Structure 1
């Protein structure tokens, strides 16, 4: 029986992919076995389609529990991808050989069930849980294990350190990725990994789940044996470098069969989904990811681009010069696109600097670190900030793959693909802004689609609130970014319906039944109307009326009113029938007006602050409705609040302020109310709270109303030192809410000494100076004073 040819590769390494393609061309295998899920063999042929463009990923999921899923990403520079392309091009069998995901998910489900049963037991079950952790089937890693995660995931780090490199990626890049000569690199990798697996450092090299890894390798060997029994003579095995020694030396089939015996299974479905380079990066949390997928894509593409770069004679190493020049030209083009200076002369200097750095470090070619340092020094003038842009756009890249329209997918995902095509709204991995004009039918449909997807948990777009915009309410701003995990979210949302609208309806009804208060229901209603789902909106209205009829918490009622008022006021922008909301709003206003006085009694400072915010929002909402009967009822409630005894000063002051702004309380009455609130009969803290409620967020009244200024000035002047010290923090907080120009003008007024105004302006009685002059001689005689010469009312001096 012929031994298989094992090729230990690095996942997503362009050097490995190039070496593997060359090795396969020399071997000419008659069967290809690749590390991957056998559950996906039925959809593997899609990889040959020209309309399937990497990066893509195989998605395997449990149809009954879609959240349990696994993804296998591929880039065009992935060795596995190149092996698949080679096998199908030569019409030889191509199969995956890893432990099926149906088994892995079955094992995971059994482990979860066991852990749940253990957690339900008493303290006696704690040893059982620890035993689960020992065998690697479940449980969380301890902090010490997490500290060694890099060594567990990347055993090549030991080889890199032995060779004097700080990390394995740099070592692999120099040893393999930049390798352009001959030699059997796979034999060298196999020898090195064999030595690592046999080394006496098991704590640093054993995987987190040794039993799972043993099962995986056992299934790979069983697959190889099955191919040998079929009569294939030149079997090429493509697997991760760590598994190569376990497949090159085959133990007994009996031991592998015993290890795989009786494993649980789950039904699994498989499909292809688009992927992005940012999700392929190691920083995204992908265990087999690489730090620089965009750079690796460039290295894979480089042999084609080198024909357009300077000739090899221009540098001792022509390929290095061409590589550096091509990469830095792309960097310069990106910087120019961002209006940053990047001249051709700077590119030439950066190339020379990168090659000099590589020579000083005894590297065969400039790597990404040398190119980044040259970029920062020459093209960015020492500024590290543009490197962040270069990293995101070029080093990592936001390339998004594509899959054919007839790829197996759930009906909900198919409906979304049709809508994206109809609305000319393709998914893109790069974050971009979208300005929708809701007067245009296509833009209105786009808005509805994005809102419906948000209801389903597919947050492809996030709306932005416009502040101070002059575009009007018919404009809607979004930030769009497609993420690969949305494919799983669509599968999870498929339980609600087979199309986006019907699924949104089902999800809305579920959320409506689960909502426990009016605030949640009204927020959901607003989102439902934005999504243009009238049937679901009617269901929500019935549910909202039922909850509002028995709700006794006035705070919840007040919180429910503002979004409903916005719907009534602006609903017509979307041609939405918002009339159904009017009945609920009318009932809410009535219940608020009836229950508010009772809800404001006996409030402490914290509760008063909450009620203050609700009072302001409700006042704005009623003003937004522009209904005379609602406004009248609300003003009557505010008048009633001011008359309540022992009402918290913050609420009483705000009620007076709202009535004053509505011209329901004139200046003289407002000054009288302020004077009463600041009388010595009230505690200074209560008086300060009244001032806070009346003046918070705007000090314009004090600037333009002398009577209010005089009352406040006399109250502050009359405070004792101890009272002033205790009141000062509250007054300071109140004045801190004023705009800077208002505070400056108030300070200027105090500095001018204009703190004493005639209090007589508060009284409606006019001062009679003639009668007062007649009384002055008698008063002077009683006090023993001489009368100065002064003009009378006719301007004649008397003595």
Structure 2
């Protein structure tokens, strides 16, 4: 009987390569891996080709799925290589870390104790090891106060890295271990190094770490008791000294006695390289997962393959990169490594060479290289028959049926809702969004007419697996879960705008059973609401839903009645709701009036538009309306042709007269002009009134009103601002002279264009040339 300890670094290609070689030579009959024992039954899936790393073991509490932890595995993870070796050779493999059922209970007890303790006694770093449990990073003991070796617990390899002349642990470990050739002596060296470090650091003081190592030793004793001849233990390097010499079994039993347990479940879920990096907040992450995968696949000539990949990437984005660049960068990287007395060029030397040779000392190409190669975003895959809750299985089945690829990087999806398959994809995305799984984020559609197009940007996050498990309490299928959640949310929501916004989500998600009760809630809330802001805010979502009626084949007749009632009440409330309003409330109402106007235009109902214009006319003519809202009402009426330019000019002159306070005049102008300067740019009458009013302002008053005027003008488009500037620079500020000069026509040149126009418009050519 022999026990062989393999101390590894999580997600290290050098450790993974050496471990694979050691296991082939040792041929163990039992492998113990640091991980959750609850996942023992899932280890066999590692032999399946459908289980493609990066993947993660997800352990969660079924009663509260949000309480979950991930154990990620990459292609270059030593633990993954151990799983594959055991699965390929039929070797018994077990996970030997402290069960998550007990760790969940321990954390719950700690949280309860913190909640009951006085606030002054709560430590600032109470959840210092939360990332450790959440992402299954190798836990490190908390530094003890006054301990001269305290930093050994937080970063045990820092001393050795500094002694070797490296500025950080990551670079030192990368050169020492990850880039080395296969060597079975590696693990003996790691064990010796960790033994010295732990002796210098002193005994453990962290209770959780002591329990974890006690459970690992117990698992080793159990394998020995079963008569295993060659036992391989794969664990974090820090734990090797604690497992090399086994204390009495009674001491470990005493440490583990009386631990509470919670019911947990485990499954495989896809993971991504982005979630393996330090930048994601993952405690056991690596700086560049893409580089480590590259090292795993091209160890002997990794540097040359890397520079070739850089050149290929830059050429694909139309940037200069030739074979000469590759050769020069390789020489520079090797020279840097020699100057630093390193055996070979590492990532630091390669990236410095890339910056100097390929990027011409620019950061822009480096950002592209970092995103595409250093991280090299990839999403794993899991077999369809992996144990999962019914909701997760239903979502994955729909994704597969609709051929919607699940990817970690962002991809755009353009949908035409008139096509049944595209409509189903849209419904799937809306239902997931309703459940709090934003796989797709809807983008603004540009360059296409009609209401049948949706543009989505898809990006799958590994955490969505937890969100789906948490949402499974609503139902076993996506439709049932989304419908149940919508019904409960409808019962809880009170405000009319919130109800109408929920109705928009329900209809877009095609949850027909939830429509009737939600419609009744909206009708009740609408009849009891007299607040103008609530009525205006409720209109746009409902009108927006009516646009999708034909595309989604939803019966919106009842919804039309609700919209009719809300529109009528809004028109009645508008003239009174804009009176005596504070400035902050007026700013909110301004946006709601603009949105409601756009909604009613989409509705294309002549009766509603007539009532709306009548309400706006009353608000614009009233002397007690807030100036900003009065100005916007006048602007809407002018844009729709209900008011002529002369009448708008009269209102402008009235509100900018000497008897009106300058602040009120500026607010009226802001409401009238905000968003577009087209009226001001094309009307000499309006221009002269505004220009004359500004010129007549005293200097102090002009300075006081300047922020309001700048805010209004800042909403104009760049061409509008340029045209207004040209008019202001022109003598008198009128458009006539400038426009005549700019639009003067040369008859001789115009006749040369006429034949082309006749051809384009398919008109018979006039022989007289007229």
TM-score range for the pair, normalised by the shorter chain length? 0.7 to 0.9
Task: Determine helix, strand or coil for the equivalent of 1:580.
Answer: helix
Which residue in the other structure is 2:633 paired with? 655
Per the TM alignment, residue 240 of structure 1 is displaced from its structure 2 partner at its CA by: 0.6
Query: Which shows bigger deviation, 73-82 or 496-505?
Result: 73-82
From the superposition, tell whether residues 549 and 152 of structure 1 become closer, same or farther in structure 2 (CA, over 3 Å). Answer: farther
Per the TM alignment, residue 673 of structure 1 is displaced from its structure 2 partner at its CA by: 3.0
CA offsets per residue over residues 144-188 of structure 1, 9 Å max, x none? 99xx99964542222211211122222222222222264522121
Per the TM alignment, residue 244 of structure 1 is displaced from its structure 2 partner at its CA by: 0.3
Which residue of 224, 229, 235 corresponds with 1:233?
A: 229
Does structure 2 retain, via aligned residues, the 8 Å contact 1:136–1:211?
Answer: no
Which residue in the other structure is 1:105 paired with? 104
Does structure 1 retain, via aligned residues, the 8 Å contact 2:152–2:197?
Answer: no
Which residue in the other structure is 1:625 paired with? 603
From the superposition, tell whether residues 686 and 354 of structure 1 become closer, same or farther in structure 2 (CA, over 3 Å). Answer: closer
Which residue of 425, 434, 437 corresponds with 1:446?
A: 425
- Aligned-partner Cα distance in 2 for 1:619–1:77: 58
Task: Determine helix, strand or coil for the equivalent of 2:418.
Answer: coil
The equivalences for 1:148-167 within 5 A come to 152-167=153-168
Which residue of 382, 388, 398 corresponds with 1:409?
A: 388
The answer to whether the aligner puts 1:519 opposite 2:497 as a matched pair is yes
Select the structure of larger CA radius of gyration: 1
Which residue in the other structure is 1:174 paired with? 175
Task: Determine helix, strand or coil for the equivalent of 2:117.
Answer: helix
Task: Determine helix, strand or coil for the equivalent of 2:298.
Answer: helix
Which residue in the other structure is 1:282 paired with? 278
- Aligned-partner Cα distance in 2 for 1:652–1:235: 84
Which residue in the other structure is 1:791 paired with? none
Per the TM alignment, residue 742 of structure 1 is displaced from its structure 2 partner at its CA by: 4.3
Which residue in the other structure is 2:238 paired with? 242
Which residue of 391, 413, 421 corresponds with 2:370?
A: 391
From the superposition, tell whether residues 475 and 434 of structure 1 become closer, same or farther in structure 2 (CA, over 3 Å). Answer: same
From the superposition, tell whether residues 106 and 679 of structure 1 become closer, same or farther in structure 2 (CA, over 3 Å). Answer: same
Question: Which stretches in structure 1 are left out of the alignment for 5+ residues?
Answer: 304-318, 758-799
Per the TM alignment, residue 569 of structure 1 is displaced from its structure 2 partner at its CA by: 3.4
The answer to whether the aligner puts 1:189 opposite 2:181 as a matched pair is no
CA offsets per residue over residues 98-141 of structure 1, 9 Å max, x none? 1000000111112222223335xxx7xx55x5699699999999
- Aligned-partner Cα distance in 1 for 2:310–2:543: 52
Which residue in the other structure is 2:470 paired with? 492
Task: Determine helix, strand or coil for the equivalent of 1:516.
Answer: coil
Task: Determine helix, strand or coil for the equivalent of 1:681.
Answer: coil
CA offsets per residue over residues 365-397 of structure 1, 9 Å max, x none? 221112222222223333332222222222221
Which residue of 355, 360, 364 corresponds with 2:343?
A: 364
- Aligned-partner Cα distance in 1 for 2:245–2:319: 57
From the superposition, tell whether residues 23 and 717 of structure 1 become closer, same or farther in structure 2 (CA, over 3 Å). Answer: closer
TM-score, length-normalised on structure 1?
Answer: 0.85
Which residue of 293, 297, 300 corresponds with 1:297?
A: 293
From the superposition, tell whether residues 142 and 577 of structure 1 become closer, same or farther in structure 2 (CA, over 3 Å). Answer: farther
- Aligned-partner Cα distance in 2 for 1:199–1:338: 52
Which residue of 737, 742, 754 corresponds with 2:732?
A: 754
From the superposition, tell whether residues 231 and 510 of structure 1 become closer, same or farther in structure 2 (CA, over 3 Å). Answer: same
- Aligned-partner Cα distance in 2 for 1:725–1:173: 62
Which residue in the other structure is 1:771 paired with? none
Does structure 2 retain, via aligned residues, the 8 Å contact 1:572–1:578?
Answer: no
CA offsets per residue over residues 625-674 of structure 1, 9 Å max, x none? 11111111112212222343422222222222322333333344333333
Task: Determine helix, strand or coil for the equivalent of 1:199.
Answer: helix
Task: Determine helix, strand or coil for the equivalent of 2:49.
Answer: coil
From the superposition, tell whether residues 115 and 455 of structure 1 become closer, same or farther in structure 2 (CA, over 3 Å). Answer: same
The equivalences for 1:199-278 within 5 A come to 199-200=200-201, 210-278=206-274
Which residue in the other structure is 2:3 paired with? 4
Task: Determine helix, strand or coil for the equivalent of 2:105.
Answer: helix
Which residue in the other structure is 1:428 paired with? 407
The answer to whether the aligner puts 1:598 opposite 2:576 as a matched pair is yes
CA offsets per residue over residues 551-590 of structure 1, 9 Å max, x none? 2321011011112122223432333333332111111112
Query: Which shows bigger deviation, 584-593 or 371-380?
Result: 371-380
TM-score, length-normalised on structure 2?
Answer: 0.88
- Aligned-partner Cα distance in 2 for 1:268–1:132: 27
- Aligned-partner Cα distance in 1 for 2:525–2:142: 47
Which residue in the other structure is 1:418 paired with? 397
Per the TM alignment, residue 357 of structure 1 is displaced from its structure 2 partner at its CA by: 2.0
Per the TM alignment, residue 37 of structure 1 is displaced from its structure 2 partner at its CA by: 0.8
The equivalences for 1:710-721 within 5 A come to 710-712=688-690, 715-716=693-694, 719-720=697-698
Which residue in the other structure is 1:480 paired with? 458
Query: Which shows bigger deviation, 550-559 or 660-669?
Result: 660-669
Query: Which shows bigger deviation, 663-672 or 39-48?
Result: 663-672
Task: Determine helix, strand or coil for the equivalent of 1:160.
Answer: helix
Does structure 2 retain, via aligned residues, the 8 Å contact 1:193–1:241?
Answer: yes
Does structure 2 retain, via aligned residues, the 8 Å contact 1:136–1:210?
Answer: no
The answer to whether the aligner puts 1:64 opposite 2:63 as a matched pair is yes
Task: Determine helix, strand or coil for the equivalent of 1:4.
Answer: strand
- Aligned-partner Cα distance in 2 for 1:446–1:85: 36
Which residue of 651, 664, 674 corresponds with 2:652?
A: 674
From the superposition, tell whether residues 136 and 681 of structure 1 become closer, same or farther in structure 2 (CA, over 3 Å). Answer: closer
The equivalences for 1:111-122 within 5 A come to 111-118=110-117
- Aligned-partner Cα distance in 1 for 2:425–2:130: 46
Task: Determine helix, strand or coil for the equivalent of 1:237.
Answer: strand
The equivalences for 1:74-153 within 5 A come to 74-118=73-117, 126-127=120-121, 129=122, 152-153=153-154
CA offsets per residue over residues 738-758 of structure 1, 9 Å max, x none? 44554555555555553799x
Does structure 2 retain, via aligned residues, the 8 Å contact 1:102–1:265?
Answer: yes
Per the TM alignment, residue 713 of structure 1 is displaced from its structure 2 partner at its CA by: 5.1
Which residue of 637, 647, 663 corresponds with 1:685?
A: 663
Per the TM alignment, residue 263 of structure 1 is displaced from its structure 2 partner at its CA by: 0.8
- Aligned-partner Cα distance in 1 for 2:362–2:659: 65
RMSD across aligned positions (CA): 3.0
CA offsets per residue over residues 476-522 of structure 1, 9 Å max, x none? 21111112111111101111111111111112122222323222222
- Aligned-partner Cα distance in 2 for 1:227–1:275: 31
Per the TM alignment, residue 707 of structure 1 is displaced from its structure 2 partner at its CA by: 4.1
Per the TM alignment, residue 446 of structure 1 is displaced from its structure 2 partner at its CA by: 1.1
Does structure 2 retain, via aligned residues, the 8 Å contact 1:649–1:690?
Answer: yes
Query: Which shows bigger deviation, 226-235 or 625-634?
Result: 226-235
Task: Determine helix, strand or coil for the equivalent of 2:554.
Answer: coil
Which residue in the other structure is 1:459 paired with? 438
- Aligned-partner Cα distance in 2 for 1:654–1:144: 66
- Aligned-partner Cα distance in 1 for 2:682–2:175: 76
Which residue in the other structure is 1:781 paired with? none
Task: Determine helix, strand or coil for the equivalent of 1:332.
Answer: helix
Which residue in the other structure is 1:789 paired with? none
Does structure 2 retain, via aligned residues, the 8 Å contact 1:136–1:212?
Answer: no
- Aligned-partner Cα distance in 1 for 2:319–2:132: 51
Query: Which shows bigger deviation, 517-526 or 624-633?
Result: 517-526
- Aligned-partner Cα distance in 1 for 2:129–2:288: 31
- Aligned-partner Cα distance in 1 for 2:15–2:515: 56
CA offsets per residue over residues 291-349 of structure 1, 9 Å max, x none? 2222222222226xxxxxxxxxxxxxxx4xx3322222222222222222322232222
Does structure 1 retain, via aligned residues, the 8 Å contact 2:33–2:93?
Answer: yes
Task: Determine helix, strand or coil for the equivalent of 1:462.
Answer: strand
Which residue in the other structure is 1:694 paired with? 672
Task: Determine helix, strand or coil for the equivalent of 2:732.
Answer: coil
Does structure 1 retain, via aligned residues, the 8 Å contact 2:18–2:184?
Answer: no
From the superposition, tell whether residues 367 and 566 of structure 1 become closer, same or farther in structure 2 (CA, over 3 Å). Answer: same
Task: Determine helix, strand or coil for the equivalent of 1:287.
Answer: coil
The answer to whether the aligner puts 1:635 opposite 2:613 as a matched pair is yes
Per the TM alignment, residue 719 of structure 1 is displaced from its structure 2 partner at its CA by: 4.7
Task: Determine helix, strand or coil for the equivalent of 1:754.
Answer: helix
Which residue of 532, 537, 542 corresponds with 2:515?
A: 537
- Aligned-partner Cα distance in 2 for 1:330–1:546: 63
